[in-house]
Structure formats: structure tokens, C-alpha cells
Amino acid sequence: MGLMPFVLALLIAGAASQQPASSQGTRPSNAEANTAQPPVGPGSLPVDIERIQKLLAQKPAIVLEPDFNPDTGLPTFRVAVQARKLTIDEILGPDYLRGPVPAGSMTHEEFLNMVTPTDVRGYAAFSNKQGATVALTSLALKWALNTALQEFQQAKDERAREAARREVQEALEALRKARLEAGLTPK
């Protein structure tokens, strides 16, 4: 608060000292006005005037009445950006899949190789030929066990069907015998 009056006083004093003595109370003549400001041509500006005029002549992307936020009383501004869509390579760079790995660090596989003894690493105890033999015999054993289990299940089902068939035959034979004893004709 104490700085504000000081800044205001400096601004007023600077404005008063920059005012020419001849213009205090009188208006400058046309000659003085022309010499005071050099003419500005469109070629001397650092912008493309034609491009700006062309874009201003186009229909705006969004036509709105002045929109004010009722809570704050501030206007709402909207902007339309027209540009080419960037690809993920342009945004993240060509090596975005590799990831930043600091120098001197190690991969997960290198860490596992460092902390796991060689004797317990999968087929590390075998040569390539021995490892292939172990893998093939393991697969053959699995296939043989699955086949044996299927045959056992089928045999069990066959025995159950045969037992049911025998039971039905015995029941039919008992029925036939009972009909004969009762003096009825067997069917």
C-alpha cells in the first residue's frame, strides 16, 4: 500500500516532463503531427497483413454473443486451433518404447542371472542334448499317463455298462420265470 502512491507520483511526474512546452494547452498543427509520427507501411510490419485479412474475412468457427460468467462477471473467450495432428512419434520421440534407462543399470534378466545360482536355473544342470532328452521324455510320459487314464475311464464305463446289461437280462429272466410259474405265456 505504501508503494502505490510513490509509483503514481513517478508516473505523473514522468508524463509532465515528457509533454512539450508548445503543446501545453494548444493543439499541434498538421505539419507537426506529420513529422512527429513516420508513416507506417504494410511492408514494414513484421506480420502478413493479407493473411490476417483473409482469416478475418472467413466465417468464425464459433459465433457467440458476448458471454459473461454470472458468478464472476468475467467474459468467456474461446479459441479454435487449426493445425496438423501430431503422431505419437513426434510427441514422444522415435525411441519412446525403449524407455529411459540410466547408464550403469541392469535389466531384469541380468539381475536374475546375478542372484540365481546356475545349478537351479531351469535346465542349467544339463547340456543342450541332455535338456532336449529330458524335455522329450517328460512330454512322452505325460502323453502315456493321459492315454492310460482315458483307457481306464473307458474300461470302467464298459464294466459298468456290462454290469447294467447283465442286471437287466437277469431281471427279464426272473420275470419270464415268474410268468411261467403263474401259468401265463412268456413274452
In this prediction, residue 34 has a pLDDT band, given cuts at 50, 70 and 90, of low
- Does the pLDDT of residue 45 top 80, yes or no? no
Residue identified by cell 478475418 is 56
Is residue 132 pLDDT above 60, yes or no?
yes
Report the distance separating Cα 114 and Cα 116, nearest Å. 6
HEC assignment per residue over 35-86: HHCCCCCHHHCCCCHHHHHHHHHCCCCCCCCCCECCCCCCECCCCCCCCCCC
Comparison of pLDDT for 50 and 43, the residue scoring more: 50
Mean pLDDT of 23-32: 52
% of residues, the chain, pLDDT over 90: 3
* C-beta neighbour count of 178 within 10 angstroms: 11
What gap in Å lies between CA 20 and CA 27, rounded to an integer? 11
Q: Where are the alpha helices (DSSP H) in the chain?
A: 3-18, 30-36, 49-57, 88-92, 108-115, 128-182
Instruction: Give the pLDDT score at 1.
Output: 45
Please check the confidence at residue 150 and state whether its pLDDT lies above 60: yes
Decide if 68 contacts 76 (C-beta within 8 A): yes
In the structure, what pLDDT confidence band is assigned to residue 58 with cuts at 50, 70 and 90?
confident
> Does the global pTM surpass 0.85?
no
Q: Is the pLDDT of residue 48 over 60?
A: yes
69: Cβ contacts below 8 Å, ≥ 6 apart: 75, 76
**pLDDT-wise least confident of 8-22, 64-78, 118-132:** 8-22
Specify the pLDDT at position 179. Answer: 84
* Whole-number pLDDT of residue 40: 65
pLDDT, tens only, 73-93 = 777 777 777 888 999 888 888
Q: Once rounded to an integer, what is the mean pLDDT over residues 101-112?
A: 79
- Confidence band, pLDDT 50/70/90 cuts, at residue 184: confident
> Which position has the higher pLDDT, 4 or 137?
137
